[in-house]
Amino acid sequence: MSKALSLNSRAWWLPALGSGLAGLALAWHHPLWPLVMCLAFGAWCAAAAWKPNAWLLLVPACLPWLNFSPWTGWLVFEEFDLLLLGALAGGYARLACSPSQDPDTPRSPWLWFPVALLLLLGVSGLWSMSRGVMDAGGWAFDWFAGYTDALNSLRVFKSLGFALLFVPLLSSNDTRPAHAGQLLAWGMVLGLLQVTLAVLWERAAFPGVFDFSTHFRTVALFWEMHVGGAAIDAYLALSAPFVLWALIQSRRPLAWTAAAALALLAGYACLTTFSRGVYGAVLGSLVLLVVLIWVQKRGISVLASGSPGAPGHRFAGWRPKASVMLALALLIEVAGVLGAGSFMIKRLNTADRDLDSRLTHWQHGLSLLQHPTDWLLGIGLGRFPAHYAREVPRGEFSGSAKPGDGFVTLLGPHSRKSLAGGYALTQRVAAVPAGQQWVSLQVRTQVRTDVSIDLCERHLLYDGNCQSVFVRVTPGEQAWQTLVLPLRGPALNGGPWFAPRLQMFSLAIANAGGSADFDNVTLLGPSGFLPLENGDFSHGLAHWFPAAQSYFVTWHMDNLFLEVLVERGGLGLLVWLALVHCALWHVVFGRARSTALSPFLAASLCGGLLVGLVSSVMDVPRVAFLMYLLTLMCLPIRKRSVLPL
Residue 408 CA neighbour count, 13 Å, CB half = 28
Q: Do residues 2 and 71 both lie within one domain?
A: yes
Q: Do residues 346 and 404 both lie within one domain?
A: no
In the predicted model, is pLDDT for residue 1 greater than 50? Answer: no
Q: What is the spatial distance between Cα 56 and Cα 574, in angstroms, rounded to a whole number?
A: 29
254 burial type by CB count under 10 A (0-12 exposed, 13-18 middle, 19+ buried): exposed
Q: What is the pLDDT of residue 100?
A: 56
Q: Do residues 480 and 583 both lie within one domain?
A: no
Q: For the chain, give the percent of residues with pLDDT over 70.
A: 92
Q: What is the pLDDT of residue 7?
A: 47
Q: Do residues 155 and 253 both lie within one domain?
A: yes
CATH of the domain at 447: 2.60.120.260
- The 10 Å Cβ neighbour count of residue 527 is 8
Query: Is 214 among the domain residues?
Result: no
Query: What are the tens digits of pLDDT across the range 557-568?
Result: 999 999 999 999
Average pLDDT (320-326) is 90
* pLDDT band for position 311 (cuts 50, 70, 90): very low
In the predicted model, is pLDDT for residue 299 greater than 90? Answer: no
Q: What is the pLDDT of residue 303?
A: 40
What is the SS3 assignment for 428-456?
Answer: EECCCCCCCEEEEEEEECCCCEEEEEEEE
pTM of the model: 0.93
**Region of poorest pLDDT, from 143-157, 213-227, 296-310, 495-509:** 296-310
Q: The domain containing residue 293 runs over which residues?
A: 128-165+231-396+551-639
In the predicted model, is pLDDT for residue 340 greater than 90? Answer: no
559 burial type by CB count under 10 A (0-12 exposed, 13-18 middle, 19+ buried): buried
Query: What are the tens digits of pLDDT across the range 240-260?
Result: 999 999 999 988 999 999 999
Q: What is the spatial distance between Cα 238 and Cα 185, in angstroms, rounded to a whole number?
A: 11
Query: What are the tens digits of pLDDT across the range 406-453?
Result: 999 999 999 999 999 999 999 999 877 777 889 999 999 999 999 999
DSSP 8-state assignment for residue 488: B
Query: Is 259 among the domain residues?
Result: yes
DSSP 197-252: HHHHHHHHHTT-TT--SSS----TT-GGGBTB--HHHHHHHHHTHHHHHHHHH--S
* pLDDT band for position 11 (cuts 50, 70, 90): confident
Query: Are 604 and 185 within 8 A, CB to CB?
Result: no
Query: Is 226 among the domain residues?
Result: no
Q: Do residues 19 and 93 both lie within one domain?
A: yes
Q: What is the spatial distance between Cα 204 and Cα 211, in angstroms, rounded to a whole number?
A: 9
Average pLDDT (88-96) is 94
Q: Do residues 441 and 515 both lie within one domain?
A: yes
Q: What is the pLDDT of residue 410?
A: 96
- In the predicted model, what is the mean pLDDT of the chain? 89
In the predicted model, is pLDDT for residue 5 greater than 70? Answer: no
Q: What is the spatial distance between Cα 236 and Cα 324, in angstroms, rounded to a whole number?
A: 23
In the predicted model, is pLDDT for residue 388 greater than 50? Answer: yes
Query: Are 444 and 418 within 8 A, CB to CB?
Result: no
Query: What are the tens digits of pLDDT across the range 590-599?
Result: 888 888 899 9
Q: Do residues 289 and 197 both lie within one domain?
A: no
Query: Is 123 among the domain residues?
Result: no
**Region of poorest pLDDT, from 22-36, 79-93, 350-364, 367-381:** 350-364
* pLDDT band for position 108 (cuts 50, 70, 90): low
Q: What is the pLDDT of residue 529?
A: 73
In the predicted model, is pLDDT for residue 69 greater than 70? Answer: yes
Q: Do residues 250 and 303 both lie within one domain?
A: yes
Average pLDDT (23-32) is 96
Query: Is 352 among the domain residues?
Result: yes
* pLDDT band for position 355 (cuts 50, 70, 90): confident
Q: What is the spatial distance between Cα 442 and Cα 584, in angstroms, rounded to a whole number?
A: 58
Q: Do residues 181 and 264 both lie within one domain?
A: no
Q: Do residues 542 and 572 both lie within one domain?
A: no
Average pLDDT (505-513) is 96
Query: Are 179 and 54 within 8 A, CB to CB?
Result: no
Query: Are 614 and 358 within 8 A, CB to CB?
Result: yes
* pLDDT band for position 644 (cuts 50, 70, 90): very low
Q: Do residues 486 and 596 both lie within one domain?
A: no
Query: Are 48 and 87 within 8 A, CB to CB?
Result: yes
Query: Is 116 among the domain residues?
Result: no
Q: What is the pLDDT of residue 316?
A: 62
Query: Are 184 and 60 within 8 A, CB to CB?
Result: yes
Entry field: residues in the chain: 645
Query: Is 114 among the domain residues?
Result: no
Q: How many domains does the chain have?
A: 3
Query: Is 122 among the domain residues?
Result: no
Q: What is the spatial distance between Cα 97 and Cα 93, in angstroms, rounded to a whole number?
A: 6
Query: What are the tens digits of pLDDT across the range 599-611?
Result: 999 999 999 999 9
If one compares 489 and 340, the residue with the highest pLDDT of the two is 489
In the predicted model, is pLDDT for residue 304 greater than 50? Answer: no
If one compares 302 and 36, the residue with the highest pLDDT of the two is 36
Average pLDDT (363-377) is 96
Average pLDDT (303-324) is 60
Alpha helices in 51-143 (DSSP H): 54-62, 69-72, 79-96, 112-135
* pLDDT band for position 348 (cuts 50, 70, 90): confident
Q: What is the pLDDT of residue 594?
A: 85
Task: For residue 547, give the amino acid letter.
Answer: A
Q: Do residues 134 and 241 both lie within one domain?
A: yes
* CA of residue 440 relative to chain centroid, distance: 35
Query: Are 398 and 422 within 8 A, CB to CB?
Result: yes
Q: What is the spatial distance between Cα 336 and Cα 323, in angstroms, rounded to a whole number?
A: 20
Query: What are the tens digits of pLDDT across the range 173-195?
Result: 665 667 888 999 999 999 999 99
